[in-house]
Amino acid sequence: MSPHRIALRTMLLGSTRSLLAVSLIGASLCVLDLFAGHASSARVRLEQQAVIGERMGHLAVLRAPEPGGLPGSAMFAPAEAQRVLQLVRASPGVALVVPQMSVSGIASAGARSALFFGEGIVATPDSTAQQLPGKLDPGVRHGVAVSRHQASSLGLANGASLTLTGASLAARSVPLDAEVVDIYAGGGSGASARHPLLMPFSMAQTLLDTERTERIVVYLNDASHTEERRSALAASLAAAGMPVLVKTWQEQSAAYTAERGAAEIAFDSVAGMVFAVIAATVAATIAMNALERRREVATLRALGMRSSAVFLMFVMEGLWMALAGVTLSLVGSGLIAWIVNRAAMSYNNGQVLGSAAPMLVELDFARMALAVLTVLAVALLAALVPSFKAARAAIAPALAR
């Protein structure tokens, strides 16, 4: 019988120790798969928060700064902004293109005042724009939309009045009276979430005392092609002689950069511990199995089996254990994700409209595949030393026991 078949037979007739080893490998991998899924879901939430909640879009077109330029020179002049808008709208894969202007300053509402960060936007009837948080009323010239957090801080309600004063080093302060036309739910939570005060684009220009445009925000039909569309836009704008920079939402979002770094460190730490546990489990199990079966191995050697075949038999036993654990982990991860998601959806369906979205468990299949390959490699390496010792054991002393 070949070493592969003997190893498979040993696994199928597995001892309690081997079954426990398979269970431990499966449970460890299941933990890693679910943790990778959690990191993937966090990334999706951060993308939703940045692209939709904070209105960063998938791409942003900014004017390249000029060496030694004056403040405000890194903005598009009116003619340049119109040219960029025409070129971007004509590009394939673009769902929505809107100019934006960031403005910060002081918001006053009676006895309360607070610093604000605002975005000047152009209200459009496009279906993509309707999905974005915060709605402006075209019939109210200085109508603004504020987040619930801002409304609570300033004691605002729909129809309330407030005074906005822009802060800029390159322009004089121009206070403007505004009316609250919408109070929207913020695009995220926590300190990293940015909830801008939304105002008409022309109003933001007035607060900054300028006619220029800071950036052109681009929403794509397919977010998976962000890098391709970025390269194509940069090439087409450069060919038209426009000095621009095209940035993705990842480059603009400080929250994404911080969260991604923390998530990568956490995943690497968990993966390291999981692989260490699997390596120790495989090495210890193979060593104990070889010790218990030393008389059987000696008999096989006496009947003509080579030491290389014994070595291969125990190595294959370690790989079969890893494969069994991988199969168990895939079934376990899928089952846990299905149960949790069904329970979360059932609970959410029973809640009132407007409640928070359910926290669903997602599986990152790319990382799961990488984890499977790594586990097989770890199991192979862990089985080498005990397998080599079992193959080099003396025959006569083992038979005499």
**What's the DSSP call for residue 358?**
P
Shortest CA distance to 164 belongs to which of 99, 102, 104? 104
The three-class DSSP label of residue 395 is helix
Query: What is the Cβ-side half-sphere exposure of residue 257, based on CA atoms within 13 angstroms?
Result: 7
Compute the distance between CA of residue 109 and CA of residue 186 in angstroms, rounded to an integer. 20
pLDDT of residue 26: 93
Q: Are strands 197-200 and 112-121 parallel, antiparallel or unpaired?
A: parallel
Compute the distance between CA of residue 43 and CA of residue 259 in angstroms, rounded to an integer. 8
Shortest CA distance to 151 belongs to which of 143, 160, 142? 160
Residues 376 and 322 sit within 8 Å (Cβ to Cβ): yes
pLDDT of residue 251: 87
Q: Tell whether pTM > 0.75.
A: no
Shortest CA distance to 256 belongs to which of 72, 46, 12? 46
| Structure-block tokens of residue 209 | 């005392």
| Structure-block tokens of residue 90 | 């004509």
Compute the distance between CA of residue 109 and CA of residue 164 in angstroms, rounded to an integer. 9
Strand partners, 162: 178
Q: Are strands 143-147 and 175-184 parallel, antiparallel or unpaired?
A: parallel
Compute the distance between CA of residue 293 and CA of residue 248 in angstroms, rounded to an integer. 60
Residues 75 and 213 sit within 8 Å (Cβ to Cβ): yes
pLDDT of residue 29: 93
Compute the distance between CA of residue 389 and CA of residue 392 in angstroms, rounded to an integer. 5
Helix ranges, 164-253 (H): 201-208, 226-239, 249-252
Compute the distance between CA of residue 365 and CA of residue 371 in angstroms, rounded to an integer. 10
Low-confidence ranges of the chain (pLDDT < 50): 71, 189-192, 350-356
Q: What angle do CA 109, 155, 100 make, to 5 degrees?
A: 65
Shortest CA distance to 233 belongs to which of 63, 81, 66, 87? 87
Compute the distance between CA of residue 197 and CA of residue 154 in angstroms, rounded to an integer. 12
Shortest CA distance to 219 belongs to which of 315, 87, 143, 129? 129
pLDDT of residue 126: 60
Compute the distance between CA of residue 13 and CA of residue 351 in angstroms, rounded to an integer. 50
pLDDT of residue 118: 86
- Residue 361 identity: V
Each residue of 219-257: b (16+ CB within 10 Å) or e? bbeeeeebeebbeebbeebeeeebebebbbbbebbebbe
